[in-house]
Structure 1
C-alpha cells in the first residue's frame, strides 16, 4: 500500500474527505519525525512503538573486493509491533 492508497483507506474508514485525510496523515508523519529527532519514543497502545536506537561503529567488508571498510555509528529508527497488531496479523 502506498501513501495515496493509505489516504483513500483512511478517508473511507473515517468518513473524512481525502484532503482532510491527507492533512491528518501528513501531520502524524511530521509530529512522529520531530519526536524521534528529539529522541522521544512514540507509543500507540495496541499498535506499536517507534523508537530511535544507536548503532555502533563497526568494520565491514566490501563484497566485491573483500576489502575491509569502516561503517560509522549512526542512529536508526525501529518499530516494535504491539500485541493487538501482532494478533490481527496472525
Structure 2
C-alpha cells in the first residue's frame, strides 16, 4: 500500500492543469495552509464529495493504565476527527 504525498498532489495538478511544478506545489501548500488555519481557529472544514474534518472538545475524564490498573486524570483537549462523505465511502467500497 502506498501513501499519497503533497508532491503527488502537486504532480497531479501539473499533469492535469498544465501548471508549473512550483505553481502546483504552491497551490497545494496554500490549500493545506488555509485548512490548517481554519481548524486552528476552531472552524470545521467540509470538502463536498470528500468529507468533513470536525473539531470536538473532550472534557476532563479519568483513565486507567491498562498495565497497572492505576487511575489517572486525562486533561481536557480538542481533537480532530474526519468523517468521509457518502460519495467517498461508495468509491472506497467499490475498490
TM-score class normalised by the smaller sequence: 0.7 to 0.9
Residue 62 of structure 1, CA deviation: 1.7
Deviation at 1:35, TM superposition (A): 0.7
User: In terms of mean alpha carbon deviation, does 45-54 or 59-68 score higher?
Assistant: 59-68
Offset of residue 4 of structure 1: 3.0
* Runs of 4+, deviation exceeding 4 Å: none
Please, what TM-score do these two structures have when normalized by structure 1?
0.81
- Aligned residue in 2 for 1:74: 77
- The residue that corresponds to 1:51 in the other structure is 54
Aligned to 1:41, which of 32, 41, 44? 44
Cα separation, 1, equivalents of 2:44 and 2:54: 5
Offset at residue 11 of structure 1 (A): 3.0
Q: Could you tell me which residue of structure 2 aligns to residue 86 of structure 1? A: 89
Distance 1:85 1:15 in 2: 26
Q: How far apart, in 2, do the equivalents of 1:11 and 1:51 lie?
A: 30
CA RMSD of aligned residues (A): 1.8
1:76 offset after TM fit, Å? 0.7
Task: Give the TM-score normalised by the residue count of structure 2.
Answer: 0.78
3-state SS of paired residue (1:77) = strand
Where structure 2 has 5 or more consecutive residues not aligned to the other structure, the ranges are: none
- Structure 2 residue aligned with 1:7: 10
Q: How many residues are matched?
A: 90
